[in-house]
Chains A and B, each alone.
Chain A
Amino acid sequence: MNRRDFLKNSITVIAGLAVPLSALELVNPRSLLAGKGDGPALRWAFLVDTQACVGCGFCVKACKTESEIPNEINITRTWVERYVVTRDGKTFVDSPRGGGDGFTTDHIDLNEHGRQEITAEKIEKAFFVPKLCNHCDNPACVQVCPVGATYQTPDGVVLVDRKHCIGCAYCIMACPYGVRSFHPVYKTAEKCTFCYHRITRGMKTACVDACPFGARKIGNLRDPDDPVTKTIMSGRVGILKEQYGTKPQVYYLALSREVK
């Protein structure tokens, strides 16, 4: 082996090792729930169909009203991202005001860099991805709370105790999905509650009820007859950032590799 071949082979091997194992692993929600047969009979999970979403933003509007966040305040518990992938391989993502007013223009919002127009013939694919708290089975945000203000209920919902929260924002930094924000009125951490007041009354979340296209669904993972559970157990669903080991419980249908 000469010097050139040695260097070539070394680079190939290093590049191969650099691919994270998680990139090769398939999602298996069954394994996420394995060994918990004696647990509670209820575990909430969410299913998002990214192909059905049209970016109308009714979910964000309903969520802000239901969770009493004034529309003027630019924080939201759920939001809709638009992905535009061009033919030369670039990915543009925007979510102006969380998508709460819908998407009404082809111009991509680049924040301080203005708006970018991408002509139709350059676009390879473009779609919308609703995001919300993943109510992880290993919630990193809960582990870091120094005062026991954020916690997980027995049915898997991560909540914040506004009376105990000291507003240190460790949890906001710890969440890999960026779903937490700081409530400007209460001065506490703010996050999606899976509409705990609705799901515990037999209703669905406000965003699920507001979605005209069935892009959002909520179900009980411990009920094998639940249509949401059936879809998730089919194994043809994706989750976000599984390499973090947080075991998110929001599953995505037709998840594209550009989505982070």
Chain B
Amino acid sequence: MGSHVWRPLYIALVLVALILVARSFLVPDDFGIQERGYMYGWHRKGNETEWKAVVVKYRTAAYCQKCHGNKAESLARTPHGIISCENCHGPALNHPDDPPTLTIDRSRALCLRCHAALTTPTSGRARIRGINPHTHNPEAECTLCHDPHNPTSRSDRDEQARLSQK
């Protein structure tokens, strides 16, 4: 048989070799079958580390308490004590280094997340005091009258004071 018969075979072999060489450079060393097996664990192991390295933005109330202990303590005595500081004050990130001050969300929309009255008889929402946003001082910011760090109303506070005197 003449060489022209074998030539396509050589070309094919060279192509396969080229692909294998390219593959060895392109596929990362840590790519392969990991702990969860071929069906669920065929991946680049290093990607797990990449996901672990994502920056934590919300540092939790425990982080805030390190410096703002007084605030946290007084807030804990009110019904709003269950709300994480960062829900209204924004993510702490590396505060106080970066950012030095946090952007506080004082908007009406923030309060309405819980305090817009809804008809939800079979959820926890039914136990929260709600207002109709369209009729309850629609132009005013909530913080004009209400203190989010001490949300109980004046009459409630008077009632508590009366009870504590007895």
Q: CB < 8 Å: which of A142, A149, A152, A197 contacts B54?
A: A197
Chain A interface main SS type: loop
Q: Which residue of B lies closest to A207 (CB)?
A: B58
B124 contacts across to A, CB distance below 8 A = 51-54, 213, 215
Contacts of B60 in A (CB 8 A): 203-204, 209
Do A65 and B113 have beta carbons less than 8 Å apart?
A: no
CB <8 Å contact, B47 and A106? no
- A-B CB pair tally, cutoff 8 Å: 153
Contact: B35 with A154, CB < 8 Å?
Answer: yes
Q: Are A53 and B123 in contact (CB under 8 A)?
A: yes
Residues of chain A contacted by B122 (CB below 8 angstroms): 51, 125-127
Binds A, one of B14-22, B84-92, B94-102, B140-148: B84-92
**Does residue B76 face the partner (Cβ distance < 8 Å to A)?**
no
Closest-CB distance, A246 to chain B (whole angstroms) = 12
Nearest Cβ distance between residue A58 and chain B, in whole angstroms?
5
Task: State whether the Cβ of B69 lies closer than 8 Å to any Cβ in chain A.
Answer: no
Number of A positions contacting B (CB below 8 A): 56
Q: B41 touches which one: A62, A106, A151 (CB < 8 A)? A: A151
Q: What residues of chain A lie closer than 8 Å to B86, measured between beta carbons?
A: 62, 209-210
Q: Mark B108-129, 1 if CB is under 8 A from A, else 0.
A: 0100111010111111110010
B53 at the interface (CB under 8 A from A): yes
Chain A min CB distance to B60 (Å): 5
Asked if A115 lies at the interface with its beta carbon under 8 angstroms from chain B, I say no
Q: How far is the CA of A51 from the CA of B97 in the complex (A)?
A: 40
Query: Within residues 110 to 135 of chain A, which ones have a CB less than 8 A from any CB in chain B?
Result: 118, 120, 123, 125-128
> Contacts of A213 on B, CB cut-off 8 Å?
82, 124
Decide if A206 is an interface residue (CB 8 Å cutoff).
Answer: yes
Q: How far is the CA of A56 from the CA of B87 in the complex (A)?
A: 11
Contacts of A89 in B (CB 8 A): none
A66 CB–B CB distance under 8 Å = yes
Is A201 among interface residues, defined by CB-CB distance under 8 A? yes
CA–CA, A180 and B42, complex, Å = 19
B136 in the interface (beta carbon within 8 A)? no
Q: Which of A57, A161, A212 contacts B47 (CB 8 A)?
A: A161
Is B84 a contact of A212 with CB atoms below 8 Å?
Answer: yes
A residues 150-208 touching B (CB-CB < 8 Å): 150-154, 159, 161, 163-164, 193, 196-198, 200-201, 203-204, 206
Q: List 11 A-B contacts (CB under 8 A).
A: A54-B124, A55-B113, A61-B87, A102-B112, A104-B109, A105-B118, A106-B119, A120-B119, A126-B123, A127-B122, A164-B43
Footprint of A on B, CB under 8 Å?
31, 34-36, 39-44, 47-48, 50-58, 60, 82-84, 86-87, 91, 109, 112-114, 116, 118-125, 128, 133
Residues of A within 8 A of B (CB): 40, 50-58, 61-62, 65-66, 82, 101-106, 118, 120, 123, 125-128, 139, 142-143, 148-154, 159, 161, 163-164, 193, 196-198, 200-201, 203-204, 206, 209-210, 212-213, 215
